[in-house]
Amino acid sequence: MIITSAKDLAIAGHKIHYAWVMVAVASALRLSGSAVRTSFSILVPRLVETFGWSIGAVGGILAVQWIFSGLFSPLAGSLGDRYGIRRTMTAGALLFTACMVGSALVMGSNTTNLLLFYLIYGVLLSAAMAIFQVPLTAAVTMWFRKHLGLGMGILQSSQGMGPLVFVPLVLFIIYVFGGGENGLKAAFWVTGIAGGAVMLLLIRPFYNEPAQIGLRPMGAPDDEPIQKVQEPEIAKVRASVFMHQAQRTGTFWNLIGIHFWGCAGHAIVMALLVAIAEEAGVSKGAAAGLFVVLSAVSTVSRFGVPIVADRMGSKGAMAVCFFMQSAPIIILFFAHDAWMFYLFAALFGIGFGGEMSAFPIINRQYYGSAPIGAAFGWQMMGANIGMAAGVTIGSLLRDMTGDFTATIAVSLVLSLVGVASILVLPTTSRHQLPHWEDAIPQEGIPAVAPADS
């Protein structure tokens, strides 16, 4: 029997904290908005053959989306901190639906259609993507005092499942609607409208913070007072004061840089691994299977690394993951047989899946219960711009040199810079700004309600 009251939620007589509902809802929200983005690689040849767009032009669309997702990320995090996650995500869901439908409407074979597709799918949709990547993740961390690693592991692993779920779905939609232009437009229409509707439904049971439904974070002491829900004016003051202090520390900027170095390094591999393998003589079928192996292994590490980071400290977990992203790249310098590339994919997948999944944990270990949405948004800006930079640099080097040697070397160097940057981070055993709230004006300090037992 399931009791639907948030305070009395139970399954088969076992009491369940609402934090786990938040994890489930957040995972579903993230998946709902990822259909076309996670399956974009399979759309590339269809867009080229249907509308006559070049491969470079189509690939540039995704690079633009990465760049603008990064640029919008600090704003998305700040909006969540200031105005609440539910309002921000509602706006994001409506924008997502409008952009997906708009992308379908502007598809066509002339230059104007391509430019409009860049604007709607590349630029505007990236704002919705930022909302469902940044404040959504930051909000879930507010619900846990204990077991945050497990909660984040579930949420982060859901991202790795995106391609496995949606690639077949998008292909099926294209097939049902007859392929060609009709099939492509249907893929955007169906996933946009259905995804947006699911998002709006899932936002209803999503709450900004435990206090909104009279709960403490999971693992908080029973005698800890429950804070009253913050008014938007108070939330703005708190978010502004925290960001002002955080941006004065080297750790704040180093975390952005770590995200950039790691994503720039693995973006090269993610975009070009199949091409590298085929150039080395691996068959097309075997080369395509590399992405499946890498995705499967990374899903496991996305789940496990946050748990390790929560229990043993994020700095060490991140350092190991970045090293596991760096060291296997050496294999690519002399790999010729399929088994060597599959060994690489399995080893690289460990580091690739784990290196980003510990970031929500390290933010809480460094900043406690501070409003971290904007700070996490800055870090995601580094990540997304790193993805775009890695793909661009790697592709240009291949064109300039005629082989992938320099491209592989750059990937290795970028990831190693990330390892070095992690090693100079301070320990996660103590907060970096333990007294940041002392700078809040008295009227910005929220009152607390009596303890509710």
The answer to whether the beta carbons of residues 28 and 202 sit under 8 Å apart is: yes
Structure tokens at 309: 């980071």
**Domains detected in the chain:** 10-213 (1.20.1250.20), 232-436 (1.20.1250.20)
Per-residue tens of pLDDT for the chain, all 453 residues: 344 456 666 666 677 889 898 998 888 888 777 666 666 766 777 787 888 887 667 777 878 888 888 888 888 888 887 787 888 889 999 999 999 999 999 998 888 889 999 999 989 998 888 888 788 888 888 888 888 888 888 888 877 676 667 777 888 888 899 888 899 899 899 988 988 899 899 888 888 888 888 888 888 888 887 776 666 677 778 888 898 999 999 999 999 999 999 999 998 888 788 888 888 888 877 887 887 788 888 888 988 999 999 888 899 999 999 999 999 999 999 999 999 999 999 999 999 888 888 888 998 899 988 888 888 889 989 998 998 888 888 888 888 888 889 999 999 999 999 999 999 999 998 889 888 888 887 654 544 443 333
| Identity of residue 94 | L
pLDDT at 350: 92
Residue 449 confidence (pLDDT): 41
pLDDT of residue 247: 92
**144: β partners:** 218
Q: Of 300, 269, 217, 226, which Cα lies nearest the Cα of 398?
A: 269
The tokens for 398 are 């291949």
**Strand ranges (DSSP E) for 158-281?**
226-227
> Nearest CA to 276 among 95, 101, 408?
408
Position 448 scores a pLDDT of: 42
pLDDT value of position 102: 95
In 253-337, DSSP assigns E strands to none
Determine the pLDDT at residue 250.
93
Q: How far apart are CA 64 and CA 46, in angstroms?
A: 19
Exposed / middle / buried, residue 196 (Cβ in 10 Å: 0-12, 13-18, 19+):
buried
User: What count of Cα atoms within 13 Å lies in the side-chain half-sphere of residue 305?
Assistant: 33
Q: b or e along 354-389 (b: 16 or more beta carbons within 10 Å of the residue's beta carbon)?
A: bbbbbbbbbbbbbbeebbbbbbbbbbbbbbbbbbbb
Burial of residue 321, with CB atoms counted within 10 A of its CB: 0-12 exposed, 13-18 middle, 19 or more buried: buried
448 strand-pairing partners: 227
The HSE-up count of residue 326 (CA atoms within 13 Å, CB side) is 18
Chain segment 57-73, per-residue pLDDT in tens: 777 787 888 888 888 88
The sign of the dihedral angle between the CA atoms of 95, 98, 101, 103 is: negative
